[in-house]
Amino acid sequence: MRTVTAGLTALVLGGGLALVGATSASAVPAGHWGTFTLTGQSREYTGTMPLPGFPETTFESNSRQSTVVSGASTWQGPSTGPGAVYGSSRGNTYLNQRPLADTSGPRSASVTTYTFAEPTPGASSWSFVLGDIDADRATISAVRQGGAAASAEDLGFQGTDGRGYNSCSVSSPGGWSCSADPDGTTGRDVPTWDPATLTLTGNAGAVDTAGATAWFTPTVPLTSLTITYERRSGFPVYQTWFANSTAALTGTATLDGAPVPGARVTVTAPRGTVYTTTTAADGTYAFPQLPQIPGYTVTITPVPGAEIQPELATQTVSLDGTNGTADFPFTAPSGTVSIIGQVTDPGGNPAADVPVVITDPADPANPIETVTNDDGYYTGSGLSPETDVTVAVDGAAPETVRTGAVPPAAPTVVDPIETTAVGSVGGAVVLDGASQAGVTVQLLDGTTVVASAVTDADGKYSFSTIPGRYTVAVQQPRADAELVSPDGGPVTVTGGSAADRSFAYRTPTAPEAVTTTATGRVVDTTGAPAAGRTVTATPDAADSGASPVTAATGTDGGYTLEGLDPATDYTVSVSGSDSTVGFTSGPDATVVVTVVDLVVAAPASPSPTPTATPTATATPTPTTVPVVSSGSGPATGELAYTGAEVGPAALAAAVLVLLGAGVLTYRSARHRRRVRADD
């Protein structure tokens, strides 16, 4: 009956394996865009840039203003260079930044440095994109793995003749829509790359345009990347994206055609990064998001006593533009058979890292000594067919197992063996009080991973193993999560006991938004206060991340605009008038900027009774107030329009001039007639 059960089990698992194997590598390589998080305030920003299959990335910046923009209105379209490789970035965040100060020169440049927790993938498998480089320049520097400075060739500029591209819709179908492009010129501006100075510079005139972009695909592993951003004119901003492609590596582990569950699979990237997983109940495994690079080394925990072709024991797989597969078909030596069993604790939970000894009476001096894997399974090969072998778990009294016949060569599936000489450690993973499912948890004995598990729908995990001192390592539920408890340290597992090690994380408190305030006053053409008017401050750059701010004027015509983004260019308008004022908000909450007065038309009044002889009145001398320019060029603007009504006075002056000219003409003609008469 046991042999029949083993055969049926192998048949069912093998059928499931065939179905899974047929679809495991059907997915195509996927492109990803990084998601930015940002904390801090002006000149003291920090953040993260999570990206699937990419090293943990953090950054620091002394930018005067940094914002994370949603990507809903500005993105890299599928027909742009990076969009064609990684797909559209629409809906993915990017970082919008300004220089340290709005003055020219290196001292006013902002510096943003990205640090990678481990060297980035080489082999041109990821990119970074710099956008809106027009009235500014960006100098790029990086550190290679090993500490040397990266060269221009290492940075991998993507362009022709040192020219970038434009991501506007005019020149790149599928690119993002430019704000206004009536003559088709906005989308033509591109930056230029100087490999000698590692500098990306905007157009020659330093004119604020739109869509000037360049992208880089590093060819070597980097440990850090720095962007030094400098203003050339106006009040420029620049944008940063990160992107990469990942591929899937899948495979199956079998023993004489039957699945091997719980076996540890290790993948080592050429740059040294190690990824691990375990085979499922059907023997399959998957690494769904690995960087697309060649030269991965794939190994699996071998089956004791089994054979495998040498070229399959350690395999090299390329994921350069394609998915990969690495199968591990183990077989028992010719004329022998195998067994597969599982060890559980009294609660039926798989017990990992438990010693198991399998003794074949045909060769008692050479027993198979092994340990259970992550899912509590053990295997043994090279056993005599149709023989009573013994299986001893953790030094307990051995149990007798009858091996199968040859043929068939399917391994004998042994009923689970319960052991009481184990303990357990488990708990839950929560974030802000909510259970976190799908989080990877590992049990380590020193630096050796004893077992690995994934939290269930309730955020729970559990390991059963032999007594000892262990460490539990947990994957962060999200990149910026902060661990609240425990404070670390080993956990002791004793036989027959259960140790608790739960992990509570919290999401960092969002930093208080730093805003600034502006005040001003609205008067009519007579100089009287204009109450009840709506004043609106609209950011000049649609992609700045700032929102329009409105306020109403009081009885004295005064208004206060609150909640303005620091160091942002705004245009202020008022209802009932075409007059506008441009200004740059203060750098932080402590600065209040006084906006120059806005002028609206005076209320209509009854027409005065006309008089026979109009009296000309002197035109008042206009008063002027400076307006800060919001465009490119020097920060000195035109004079504000005062609103004085000069039409009637100008007409009266013109009539007087014509009358005077007529009198002079008449006198001149009369004088000439007198001269001729005298002659």
* Comma-separated ranges of CATH 2.60.40.1120 domains in the chain: 337-418
- How far is CA 279 from each of CA 263, 375, 411, 500, rounded to the nearest angstrom? 5, 9, 17, 26
Mean pLDDT, residues 91-98 taken together: 92
Q: Under CATH, which number does the domain 337-418 receive?
A: 2.60.40.1120
Residue 55: pLDDT over 80: yes
| Contacts for 33 with CB less than 8 Å, ≥ 6 apart | 51, 71, 86, 87, 89, 92, 241, 242, 243
State the pLDDT at residue 200.
98
CA distance 177 to 352: 57
Tokens of 218: 């590093």
pTM: 0.68
Q: Are the C-beta atoms of 483 and 475 separated by less than 8 Å? A: no
The DSSP secondary structure of 554-588, one letter per residue, reads -TTSEEEEEEEPTT-EEEEEETT---EEEEE--SS
- Dump pLDDT digits (tens) for 236-260: 899 999 999 999 999 999 999 999 9
State the pLDDT at residue 666.
42
Q: What is the mean pLDDT of the chain?
A: 82
CA distance 608 to 591: 47
Residue 646: pLDDT over 90: no
CA distance 444 to 48: 28
- Dump pLDDT digits (tens) for 550-608: 999 999 999 999 888 887 888 899 998 888 888 888 766 656 666 656 777 777 765 55
Mean pLDDT, residues 207-216 taken together: 90
- Dump pLDDT digits (tens) for 427-458: 999 999 999 999 999 999 998 899 999 999 99
Q: Which CATH class is domain 513-606+615-644?
A: mainly beta
* Comma-separated ranges of CATH 2.60.40.10 domains in the chain: 423-506, 513-606+615-644
- Dump pLDDT digits (tens) for 122-159: 767 899 999 999 999 999 999 999 999 999 999 999 99
Q: What angle do CA 600, 604, 608 make, to 5 degrees?
A: 130
CA distance 521 to 581: 12
State the pLDDT at residue 612.
52
Q: How many CB atoms lie within 10 A of CB 86?
A: 25
Fold of 423-506: Immunoglobulin-like (2.60.40)
Residue 490: pLDDT over 70: yes
Mean pLDDT, residues 397-405 taken together: 94
List of long-range contacts for 644-651, beta carbons under 8 Å, 24+ apart: 644/525, 644/619, 644/620, 645/525, 646/619, 649/616, 649/617, 649/618, 649/619, 650/619
| Contacts for 497 with CB less than 8 Å, ≥ 6 apart | 423, 424
Residue 10: pLDDT over 50: no
- Dump pLDDT digits (tens) for 293-342: 889 999 999 999 999 999 999 999 998 878 999 999 999 999 999 999 99
Tokens of 651: 């007409």
